[in-house]
């Protein structure tokens, strides 16, 4: 193991250099070990800091994973999600409705400050998000995957764009598939990455529509939601206006990255319509039911890493001509 990781540490930077040399700047790609020369401790700094953050607040693992997802789906993985509205208003990506429940901004800023102290203006905020998402999953007992690096930070962030590009909680598979396809992700990725809902919590307005006033039949509830479970959720989430109550998407193990999310979905206890929708399409349904057996945890871990790598490639800015390396993640240079 030690030998293997040693070898990997030697070989990956070499492969990275070869790739860099082979590709023209215009077609620059993300590469493993991108900072091995310019900031050799970059990945260790991120890992060490993320460890401290999660040790102090285990519930941040989900939000850190979600930040990378929201970043990648709007303008590509360019850390636009971290920017404040430059005019002090509420027109930035993070101010968009689906984004208003995002957390973890302070933690990202703290890690970025450590990186700036070690290697100024070198490691992009977009790469920090990709690394922290991976490390958060590992710390929640989930899989690890190699994160190729070299993303650069964008200079634009827009609330309206975020509202249009992010999948809504009420999405059905055709809509979700369309939004995923725009980011180079297919139906399998949709089934796999929805498994991220094994971590974290949701605010009542994200699912209250399924409990109240959904349809005049079924007493106003969403018929695709297990009725006993709906009763239980109603005791927690009193109305569509309740913004204080939190519920887990994977009750019982919402701090552990595992396949139990799929068992809830298979029992018609997925929290969002988008979770329930996975049962309505043959491809996603097959995946949910297979993972729900609990006999394919290793497959899910492998799949999740592969889909995260794909997501992390979405619309990236690379090469000196594109974007910048922000000094602070909430403001352009």
d(CA 44, CA 213): 50
Binding test (CB under 6 A) with ligand HEM, winner from 111, 126, 138, 199: 199
Tell the smallest beta-carbon distance from residue 331 to ligand NAG (Å). 13
Tokens 């590709």 correspond to 23
CB of 248 to ligand NAG, least distance (A): 20
Residue 27: CB minimum distance to ligand HEM, A: 27
d(CA 57, CA 17): 37
Helix locations, the chain, DSSP H: 2-22, 42-56, 61-73, 105-118, 125-139, 159-165, 173-181, 187-193, 208-211, 227-236, 260-266, 273-277, 282-292, 297-311
How many CB atoms lie under 10 A from the CB of residue 101? 16
Q: Choose the stretch contacting ligand NAG; rule: CB under 6 A; options: 43-51, 223-231, 261-269, 300-308.
A: 43-51
CA dist 19 and 171 (Å) reads: 39
- Judged by beta carbon, residue 47 or residue 203, the one nearer ligand HEM is 203
Q: Is 111 annotated as a binding residue?
A: no
Q: Which is nearer to ligand HEM, 63 or 76 (CB)?
A: 63
Q: Which does 213 bind (CB under 5 to 8 A by kind): ligand HEM, ligand NAG, none?
A: ligand NAG
| 69 lines the binding site for ligand HEM (CB under 6 A) | yes
* Smallest gap from residue 22 Cβ to ligand HEM (A): 31
Closer of 37 and 295 to ligand NAG (Cβ) = 37
Q: Return the DSSP state at 293.
A: T
Stretch that binds ligand HEM, among 110-118, 202-210, 258-266, 281-289 (CB under 6 A): 202-210
Residue 138 is encoded by which pair of tokens? 């590992």
94 lines the binding site for ligand NAG (CB under 6 A): yes
Q: State the Cα–Cα distance between residues 310 and 330, nearest whole angstrom.
A: 25
Neighbours of 226 (CB within 10 A): 17
Q: Which of 202, 208, 211, 292 binds ligand HEM (CB under 6 A)?
A: 202
Backbone angles phi, psi at 41, to 5 degrees: -90, 5
Indicate which of ligand HEM, ligand NAG, none lies near residue 105 (CB less than 5 to 8 Å, by partner kind).
ligand NAG
Residues 120-159 contacting ligand HEM, CB under 6 A: none
Q: Which two tokens stand for residue 145?
A: 């995957």
71 a known binding residue? yes
Q: What distance in Å separates the CA atoms of residue 27 and residue 257, rounded to the nearest whole number? A: 35
How many other CB atoms sit within 10 Å of the CB of residue 321? Answer: 10
The question of whether 70 is a catalytic residue gets the answer: yes
Tell me how far, at minimum, the Cβ of 199 lies from ligand HEM, in Å: 5
Residue 68 and residue 137: Cα distance in Å, rounded? 12
* Total of chain residues touching ligand HEM, rule CB under 6 A: 25
Per CB under 6 A, residues contacting ligand HEM are: 62-63, 65-66, 69, 101, 103, 167-169, 171, 176, 190, 193-194, 196-197, 199-203, 206, 272, 274
Q: Which residues are catalytic?
A: 70
Per CB under 6 A, residues contacting ligand NAG are: 41, 44-45, 48, 94-95, 100, 105, 213, 240
């Amino acid at each position: 193991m030690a030998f293997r990781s040693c070898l990997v540490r030697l070989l990956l930077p070499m492969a990275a250099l070869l790739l860099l040399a082979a590709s023209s700047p215009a077609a620059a790609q993300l590469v493993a070990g991108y900072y091995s020369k310019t900031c050799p401790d970059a990945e260790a700094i991120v890992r060490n800091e993320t460890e401290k953050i999660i040790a102090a607040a285990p519930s941040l693992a989900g939000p850190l994973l979600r930040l990378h997802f929201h970043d990648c789906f709007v303008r590509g993985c360019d850390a636009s999600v971290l920017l404040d509205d430059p005019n002090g208003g509420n027109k930035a990506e993070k101010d968009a409705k689906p984004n208003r429940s995002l957390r973890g901004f302070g933690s990202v800023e703290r890690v970025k400050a450590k990186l700036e102290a070690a290697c100024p203006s070198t490691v992009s905020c977009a790469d920090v998000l990709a690394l922290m998402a991976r490390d958060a999953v590992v710390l929640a007992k989930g899989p690890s995957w190699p994160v190729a690096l070299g993303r650069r930070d964008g200079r634009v962030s827009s609330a309206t764009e975020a509202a249009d590009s992010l999948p809504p909680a009420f999405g059905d598979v055709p809509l979700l598939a369309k939004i995923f396809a725009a980011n180079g992700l297919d139906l399998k990725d949709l089934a796999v990455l929805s498994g991220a809902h094994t971590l974290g919590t949701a605010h009542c307005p994200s699912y209250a529509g399924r409990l109240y006033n959904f349809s005049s039949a079924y007493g106003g509830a969403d018929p695709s939601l297990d009725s006993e479970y709906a009763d239980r959720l109603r005791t927690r989430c009193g109305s569509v206006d309740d913004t204080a109550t939190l519920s887990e998407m994977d009750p019982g193990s919402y701090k552990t990255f595992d396949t139990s999310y799929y068992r809830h979905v298979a029992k018609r206890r997925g929290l969002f319509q988008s979770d329930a929708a996975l049962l309505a399409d043959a491809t996603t349904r097959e995946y949910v039911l297979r993972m729900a057996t609990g006999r394919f945890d290793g497959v899910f871990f492998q799949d999740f890493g592969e889909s995260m790598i794909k997501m992390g490639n979405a619309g990236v800015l690379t090469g000196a001509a594109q974007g910048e390396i922000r000094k602070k993640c909430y403001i352009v240079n």
